[in-house]
């Protein structure tokens, strides 16, 4: 560990002999753990997983931890301090790669019992054990920390149980220990939502006993070992809420709230967690057994396997943004909603940003939007202050001269964009990149007249910028490969996921979403109720129905994209332009005007209570055209592979994550099955459902 070890553990540690637990082993036999004793008789057990940038838990790690605990038990110190040698955090959780190899519930249960035995052994040590937590402490890492007697958090610590995002709940005792340590309602909320608690919040919950600066870690750990650290534990409220009646009352409310966001047929894990606590929370031993059985069932389910797939899709897209780009200054043109949010997001991530617009009022609103955003995502006033200092309103567009990257985010009008490019390109610094946030205009049209078309790239953000992780990185046949690499690296620096796509009408995401939303409007014209149509999509697993989504996006934008795609694609599309145009001409643009297909109040669509239940055919009419476009984009080479399609659609549209992405769902359901269903729909409703020839390649 070298210098990292020196910074994490006190000086003058005496390295003790190591043991493999079965027979004596020479010092250094462990690959992932280091054990040493300081002058006060405290043993420091340091986790530094070999060959990994982050500490994760796997079978080998737990086996070595068991060996280390055996060594500690043979030569008892005054206390034990457990911490990480990784700079990025304590323990990031289980090695999710192992999940993919586990297909039998019985084998999973056996593995979990072995893991429980190790963590129980840690909990049962006869000397005080202190977990020192910095950075991320997630999942199994938090379960290890919960087995310690004390938890000392460094100021940057974040603690949480994200298992629900993988279709799981904690499986190494977290469901047992957390509700007994802190208010069980707060404990269940942490596990049901997967949200992290930062150090100060964790302290207020009683999840950690102290929050200290790194320089005070040794003193805090020693104070805990020698009984000098004041703690706040237990209490009558925790006991009352964990009673049988308390669990029953709380569980009833939890189920109602959880069912609204995570229907049990789509996401069984949170409901299984509620069942665990309600029915077994009165006995730690009984709940531990039930936790193991429940986790094993969930891990081998299709839902969890697909959500694990989505996790690795995210990792694949992240890796595309691993490169280096030294740029420091970004110039954004257009202070509308998208331009303002792009500028604010870039400033938050350390860039000096000039936001250009000829309208002073628009610039003022943009800065106010940024301040509001920073107040929601920031945790320190100084961070908000510094980000606002980096965001500079630019009425005269002077920032273009020094920018390393210029992002154009003006309305979707070809002539307007070309006019702006003609004005700014001569002013741009040599080597600066020109990016467009166009949502549908092919870059082959935008590049006409440019002196350096090889420096033009598409960076298509989605709304809201701060919450939508995906950005389409759009290429064309004249763009430099170096510019594309720099674009990917820039997206990595602002914590966004690049989805490389080739320039074509609508690219991938909008091209796939458009038939989904247009078919919904056809159904409206046929007399369908908007609530039923939206319910059809949501019953498939979409987070929002197409009518509500159209209102969210803006009906003016939907109209523009629909007309653009209809003009540029050689494929039948339903003509609903009149429906959209009527709304646009009335100024009923959706959420942003308070009325579209729905009336909107406080950011929510007002829906009628009773509506006919959707049919299977309605679901297919909405979903299958979206899959068909994905197959078309793959066949045409707009997107390189199925994983990028799945990742883009999940992270940009929320396409039913528990189904693993549209292409994965298509393969699961069967390409021939979907093609036949499309042919039936084409006979009933017209050629817009005619299946793409690309289905032959998937069969």
Which residues are the active-site residues? Answer: 460
Q: How many CB atoms lie within 10 A of CB 270?
A: 24
Strand partners, 89: 135, 136
| Residues 551, 579, 681: CA angle, nearest 5 degrees | 90
Q: Is 146 helix (H, G, I), strand (E, B) or coil?
A: helix
Q: Are 626 and 512 in contact (CB under 8 A)?
A: yes
Distance of CA 658 to the CA centre of its chain: 14
Q: Quick one: which of 64, 63, 31 has its CA closest to 48?
A: 31
Q: Quick one: which of 159, 171, 137, 139 has its CA closest to 269?
A: 171
Looking from the CA of 438 toward its CB, the CA atoms found within 13 Å total: 31
Distance CA 522, CA 517 (A): 9
Strand partners, 472: 460, 499
Q: Quick one: which of 161, 152, 157, 156 has its CA closest to 187?
A: 161
Q: DSSP letter string over 206-225?
A: TSSSEEE-GGGHHHHHHHHH
Q: Are 555 and 590 in contact (CB under 8 A)?
A: yes
Cis peptide bond prior to 434, omega within 30° of 0: no
Sequence-ordered strand ranges (E) for 88-238: 89-91, 129-133, 136-138, 150-154, 158-160, 197-198, 210-212
- Tell me how far apart the 2 most distant CA atoms of the chain are, in Å: 83
The dihedral sign for the CA sequence 640, 642, 647, 648: positive
Q: Are 393 and 363 in contact (CB under 8 A)?
A: yes
Alpha helices in 300-406 (DSSP H): 302-319, 337-348, 360-377, 381-390
* Residues making up the chain, counted from first to last: 699
* Contacting residues for 419 by C-beta, under 8 A, at least 6 apart: none
Strand partners, 269: none
Q: Are 333 and 420 in contact (CB under 8 A)?
A: yes
The one-character DSSP state at 355 is E
Q: Quick one: which of 126, 61, 65, 123 has its CA closest to 97?
A: 61
Distance of CA 86 to the CA centre of its chain: 23
213 vs 7, 47, 195, 219, 224, CA distance in Å? 13, 20, 23, 11, 16
Distance CA 257, CA 279 (A): 19
Sequence-ordered strand ranges (E) for 450-546: 456-460, 470-475, 497-502
Distance CA 91, CA 83 (A): 9
128, with CB counted inside 10 A (0-12, 13-18, 19+), is buried
- Residue environment code for 518-527, b if the CB has 16+ CB neighbours within 10 A, otherwise e: bbbbbbbeee
């Amino acid at each position: 560990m070298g210098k990292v070890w020196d910074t994490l553990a006190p000086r003058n540690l005496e390295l003790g002999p190591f043991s493999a637990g079965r027979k004596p082993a020479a010092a250094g036999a462990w690959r992932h753990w280091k054990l040493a004793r300081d002058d006060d008789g405290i043993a420091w057990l340091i986790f530094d997983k070999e060959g990994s940038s982050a500490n994760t838990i796997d079978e080998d790690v737990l086996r070595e931890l068991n060996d280390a605990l055996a060594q500690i038990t043979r030569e008892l110190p005054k206390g034990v301090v457990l911490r990480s040698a990784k700079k990025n955090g304590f323990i990031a959780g289980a090695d999710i790669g192992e999940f993919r190899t586990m297909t039998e519930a019985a084998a999973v249960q056996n593995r979990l019992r072995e893991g429980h035995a190790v963590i129980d052994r840690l909990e049962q040590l006869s000397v005080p054990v202190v977990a020192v937590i910095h950075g991320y402490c997630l999942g199994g890492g938090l379960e290890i920390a919960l087995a310690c007697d004390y938890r000392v958090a460094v100021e940057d610590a974040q603690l949480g149980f994200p298992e629900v995002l993988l279709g799981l709940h904690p499986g190494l005792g977290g469901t047992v220990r957390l509700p007994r340590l802190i208010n069980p309602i707060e404990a269940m909320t942490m596990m049901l939502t997967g949200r992290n608690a930062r150090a100060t919040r964790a302290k207020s919950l009683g999840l950690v006993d102290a929050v200290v600066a790194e320089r005070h870690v040794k003193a805090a750990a020693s104070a805990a070992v020698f009984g000098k650290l004041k703690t706040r534990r237990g209490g009558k409220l925790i006991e009352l809420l964990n009673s049988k009646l308390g669990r029953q009352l709380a569980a009833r409310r939890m189920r109602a709230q959880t069912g609204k966001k995570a229907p049990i047929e789509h996401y069984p894990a949170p409901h299984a967690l509620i069942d665990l606590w309600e029915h077994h929370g009165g006995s730690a031993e009984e709940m531990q057994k039930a936790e193991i059985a429940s986790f094993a069932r969930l891990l081998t389910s299709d839902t969890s396997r697909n959500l694990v797939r989505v996790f690795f899709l995210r990792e694949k897209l992240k890796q595309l943004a691993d490169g280096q780009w030294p740029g420091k200054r970004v110039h954004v043109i257009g202070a509308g909603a998208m331009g303002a949010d792009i500028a604010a997001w870039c400033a938050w991530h350390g860039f000096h940003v000039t936001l250009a617009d000829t309208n002073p009022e628009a610039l003022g609103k943009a800065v106010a939007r940024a301040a509001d955003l920073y107040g929601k995502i920031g945790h320190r006033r100084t961070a908000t202050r510094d980000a606002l200092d980096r965001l500079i309103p630019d009425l005269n567009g002077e920032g273009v001269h020094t920018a390393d990257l210029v992002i154009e985010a003006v309305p979707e009008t070809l002539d307007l964009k070309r006019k702006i490019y003609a004005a700014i390109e001569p002013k741009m610094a040599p080597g600066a990149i020109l990016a467009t946030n166009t949502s549908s205009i092919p870059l082959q049209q935008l590049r006409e007249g440019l002196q350096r078309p090889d420096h033009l790239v598409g960076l298509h953000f989605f709304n809201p910028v701060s919450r939508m992780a995906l950005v389409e990185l759009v290429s064309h046949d004249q763009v430099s490969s170096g510019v594309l690499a720099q674009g990917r690296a820039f997206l990595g620096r602002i914590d966004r996921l690049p989805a490389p796509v080739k320039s074509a009408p609508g690219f991938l995401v909008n091209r796939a979403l458009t038939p989904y939303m247009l078919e919904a409007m056809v159904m409206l014209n046929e007399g369908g109720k908007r609530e039923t149509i939206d319910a059809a999509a949501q019953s498939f697993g979409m987070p929002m129905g197409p009518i509500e989504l159209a209102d969210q996006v803006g009906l003016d934008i939907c109209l523009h994209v629909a007309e653009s795609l209809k003009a540029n694609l050689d494929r039948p599309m339903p003509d609903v332009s009149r429906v959209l145009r009527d709304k646009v001409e009335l100024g009923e643009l959706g959420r942003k005007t308070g009325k579209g297909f729905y009336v909107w109040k406080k950011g929510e669509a007002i829906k009628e209570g009773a509506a006919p239940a959707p049919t299977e055919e309605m679901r297919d009419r909405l979903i299958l055209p979206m899959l068909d476009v994905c197959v078309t984009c793959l066949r045409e080479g707009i997107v390189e592979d199925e994983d990028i399609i799945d990742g883009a659609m999940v992270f940009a549209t929320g396409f039913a994550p528990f189904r693993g992405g549209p292409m994965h769902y298509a393969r699961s359901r069967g390409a021939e099955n979907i093609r036949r269903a499309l042919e039936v729909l084409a006979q009933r409703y017209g050629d817009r459902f005619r299946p793409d020839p690309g289905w032959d390649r998937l069969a």
